């Protein structure tokens, strides 16, 4: 049987390649933004959308940004649904909405992690897409839905704000082991 110019076997083979090659990257993206259980659900939903819209998934290097943009939308949908449930409740058996600190479970924080956490959500996302997800700014722009030039400016400003926060931390007086200023 043919579907949109491809046989079913070709569709399945293409999807399996996407899954094998990009599943770890999409899962990593989701894990950095939510808890492991929800991350697995987001990845499953992302690849379900990819299967349904396989003809829309770019080939080659364009597939990862497309999948990450889809995962980002899935995460946003889940946040909106949780916010709605929190506002109106789900009746007498409502499950409380639990928000988690993304850094929960981290034993120690470096100055970089602390400064990164103080950045705004847009700055964190721009830096994470480049540093953690390894995307080229052009690909990251596709994920967040803006032009490459706009994303480049966002990333530059985010780096500058992060550097400013790190410099401010370096300027603070040191404290010795007994808590006294040095």
Neighbours of 114 (CB within 10 A): 13
Residue range 44-96, pLDDT digits in tens: 999 999 999 999 999 999 999 999 999 999 999 998 888 877 777 655 555 55
pTM: 0.57
Identify the CATH class of 107-172: mainly alpha
What are the sequence ranges of the domains in the chain? 1-90, 107-172
Give the C-alpha separation, 42 to 70, whole Å.
9
Residue range 13-30, pLDDT digits in tens: 999 999 999 999 999 999
- Flag whether pLDDT at 138 surpasses 50: yes
Q: What pLDDT does 89 receive?
A: 60
What tokens appear for 39 in the block? 């991350």
Q: What pLDDT does 172 receive?
A: 56
Question: pLDDT > 90: what percent of the chain?
Answer: 57
Neighbours of 42 (CB within 10 A): 25
Give the C-alpha separation, 130 to 111, whole Å.
20
Cβ atoms of residues 152 and 126 within 8 Å: no
Cβ atoms of residues 30 and 22 within 8 Å: no
Helix extents (H) in the chain: 8-31, 36-52, 63-88, 111-118, 121-131, 137-144, 148-171
User: What is the average pLDDT value for the chain, to the nearest integer?
Assistant: 81
CATH classification number, 1-90, choose in 3.20.20.70, 3.40.50.300, 1.10.10.10, 1.10.1740.10: 1.10.1740.10
């Amino acid at each position: 049987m043919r579907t949109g110019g491809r046989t079913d076997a070709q569709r399945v083979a293409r999807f399996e390649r996407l899954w094998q090659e990009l599943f770890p990257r999409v899962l990593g993206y989701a894990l950095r933004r939510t808890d492991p259980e929800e991350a697995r659900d987001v990845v499953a939903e992302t690849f379900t959308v990819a299967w349904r819209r396989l003809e829309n998934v770019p080939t080659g290097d364009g597939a990862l940004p497309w999948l990450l943009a889809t995962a980002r939308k899935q995460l946003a949908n889940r946040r909106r649904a949780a916010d709605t449930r929190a506002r109106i409740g789900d009746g007498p058996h409502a499950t409380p909405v639990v928000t988690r600190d993304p850094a929960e479970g981290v034993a120690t924080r470096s100055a970089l992690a602390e400064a990164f956490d103080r950045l705004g959500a847009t700055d964190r996302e721009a830096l994470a897409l480049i540093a953690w997800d390894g995307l080229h700014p052009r690909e990251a722009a596709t994920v967040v839905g803006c032009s490459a030039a706009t994303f480049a400016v966002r990333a530059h400003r985010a780096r500058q704000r992060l550097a400013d926060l790190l410099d401010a931390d370096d300027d603070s007086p040191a404290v010795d082991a007994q808590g006294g200023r040095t």
